[in-house]
Amino acid sequence: MNWITTIGLLAAICTTMAFLPQAIKIIKTKHTKDLSLNMYLVLVIGVILWLTYGILIQDLPLIIANGITLMFTSTILTLKIKYK
Amino acid sequence: MNWITTIGLLAAICTTMAFLPQAIKIIKTKHTKDLSLNMYLVLVIGVILWLTYGILIQDLPLIIANGITLMFTSTILTLKIKYK
């Protein structure tokens, strides 16, 4: 694996895992007032579309990264609706 | 442009524009308590890495999408630090 691929992989890990601390924060505090509902609605739709795109072009990194991101962002969206 | 490319394009538009309503919400309310600082730190690093990767492999859609996403997410991060 060359260093350019490594940068792409690190990028994917960061933008995928970034949502985990937000999900944990909400589970701990049960507060979501400052979070934008529209952001998470559009984001979850976007991630579902990326996952669909990944499946259609049979790209495993796209499928894995967006599968994990969907898990985190849909959890945040569900908690936002629950605790609003 | 075939329908699979259209799905990829719609995905990119959604995951890029999703952060705009959050930025607007913070500008209006000046409240960021419920937002995770770690989420936006890791996300901004990830988007910078994606942008770097896009420049290195000379992929214009990656550069444009991540350039716009960086603008929105770094604004949210700055406001989170400012109003914490």
In this prediction, residue A1 has a pLDDT band, given cuts at 50, 70 and 90, of confident
CB contact under 8 A, B14 and A46: yes
Altogether, the residues listed in chain B come to a count of 84
CB contact under 8 A, A39 and B21: yes
Q: Is the pLDDT of residue A19 over 80?
A: yes
Structure tokens given for B71: 């603008």
Range of the domain at A32: 3-82
If we measure between CA atoms, which residue out of B83, B66, B77 comes closest to residue B36? B77
Q: Which among A12, A36, A53 has the least Cβ separation from residue B7?
A: A53
Touching check for B27 and chain A: CB below 8 Å?
Answer: no
Residues of B in contact with A38 (CB under 8 A): 18, 21
Task: Pick the residue of A16, A17, A22 with the most B CBs within 10 A to test the interface with B by mutation.
Answer: A22
Rounded CA-CA distance A77/A9 in Å is 26
CB contact under 8 A, A18 and B42: yes
Q: What is the pLDDT of residues B55-80, one digit of tens each?
A: 999 999 999 999 999 999 999 999 99
CB contact under 8 A, B11 and A52: yes
Mean pLDDT of chain A: 96
Number of domain units in chain B: 1
Q: What pLDDT does A39 receive?
A: 98
Rounded CA-CA distance B36/B51 in Å is 23
Mean pLDDT of chain B: 96
If we measure between CA atoms, which residue out of A40, A45, A49 comes closest to residue A81? A40
The H or E element spanning position A52 is helix A37-56
Q: Is the pLDDT of residue A70 over 90?
A: yes
Q: In this structure, which amino acid lies at residue B8?
A: G
CATH number (domain holding residue A63): 1.20.1280.290
Dihedral sign for Cα A12, B84, A35, B35, please. positive
